[in-house]
Structure 1
């Protein structure tokens, strides 16, 4: 069997760099409003429900994208403590501006490396549409969970979603879209499967759940 090769720092950075000002400007309408329901067969409303169920008073978001869900979800408090982590400065600028009412902290980090968050602890961690942007298979992407768990309170939740290539029921438009997005490095999920995601979670957590909607796997983890 061919041994998996770890993605280089340059590959990880390139995957994040795709999300520049132009992409972020159309992200809510094009990616979340059109591609999600018509291509991936999972609506942004369904993913917003996931945020509403699990977001806590102290929330860490990895790869917050345009900040759409954090802008619209219902926090359990009027003054949540919000921390945003991304490798892309433009993403951090965009989301911090959109969420300025919460005065979020922003940190530039590679989520495949130790996060170095000090004494910070969080009730919830979101990683929506993050994993399919990270190069390498789940043997490498799983490091995201290892790196974030030390900062989650007992009973806290880690949740998110990712588009898979294998083990899910794709709609008619999905296969061609996956080919294009992987060729242009917008996504890095050619080998990502439902079985691979389940293995990454079951090897780390006792309490987790995966729900499949079209091409999308939505996961919810309770940290012991």
Structure 2
């Protein structure tokens, strides 16, 4: 996988594990191999009440062939689409996650004179290492609840997501709402994940999410499936300022 196909590449090609955000540290080796089973097939439906088919439908409707995936997980949802990509940027602070998802997707699925997937070792809260391009679609799936601090502290991430979204593009994704009425399993996982720093969503609400998105996008839709808020946002406000 080419690191930074749109430019000279990210500012660092590798990441020392202790420098990673706390939420990104668990994802390496066996944890990535078990991601689909534990996160998508177990935790999402049984703790958060959101089946992976719901999120797959978001990707099927909104993901284009010029796409940026921010917080790539295992690459599961992209791998299910069967698309031939014109431009695909994978953005994550964890180089192991980028390598895993990139290998799963495969460079041969991309078009162009130099078929490649562009991988960016970058924290969405920090703009320096993000792709310089804008994309027709941007996904932030199960990302926002992993960011540290209360919802207002996550605004730089949403601002950066808006900057990645083209004037005619769409941002979409899902996040676990901390203040939802969680079931017993959900309460246990909420406590454990927030205690370890894997999550930072104790006070997150659906209304806070909507307000934050509306600061950076003109058209925003947010809806709930149990403890998960799903969202679609378009017409980024930067397109009106430029």
TM-score range, shorter chain: 0.7 to 0.9
Q: Distance in 2 between matches of 1:219 and 1:115?
A: 26
- Counterpart of 1:124 (choices 127, 137, 140) is 137
**Alpha-carbon shift at residue 137 of structure 1 (Å):** 1.5
1: CA distance between counterparts of 2:117 and 2:103?
Answer: 9
Q: Do the aligned partners of 2:69 and 2:140 also contact (CA within 8 Å) in 1?
A: yes
Displacement of 1:12 in angstroms is 6.2
| Count of residue pairs brought into register by the alignment | 212
Alignment partners' CA distance in 1, 2:86 and 2:128: 21
Q: What RMSD over aligned residues (CA atoms) do the two structures have, in Å? A: 1.8
SS for the counterpart of 1:173 is: helix
Bigger mean CA deviation after superposition, 62-71 or 142-151: 142-151
2:176 matches 1:163:
yes
* CA-to-aligned-CA distance 1:40-69 (integer Å, 9 cap, x gap): 100011101001110012100000100000
Matched, 1:51 2:59: yes
> What is the 5 A alignment of 1:26-105?
26-73=34-81, 75=83, 78-100=84-106, 101-102=109-110, 103-105=116-118
Q: 1:173 to 1:116 in 2, by over 3 A?
A: closer
Unaligned residue ranges in structure 2 (runs of 5+): 1-17, 111-115, 237-242
Distance across 2 between alignment mates of 1:119 and 1:96: 19
Match of 1:216 in 2: 228
1:128-159: CA deviation from partner (whole Å, max 9, x where unpaired): 00111111121121211211323322221001
| Equivalent-residue separation in structure 2 for 1:133 and 1:216 (angstroms) | 13
Work out the CA distance in 1 between the residues paired with 2:122 and 2:146: 15
Structure 1 contact 182–190 (Cα < 8 Å) conserved: yes
Secondary structure of the equivalent of 2:216?
coil
CA contact 1:112–1:141 (8 Å) conserved in 2: yes
> Contact conserved, 1:171 with 1:214, CA < 8 A, in 2?
no
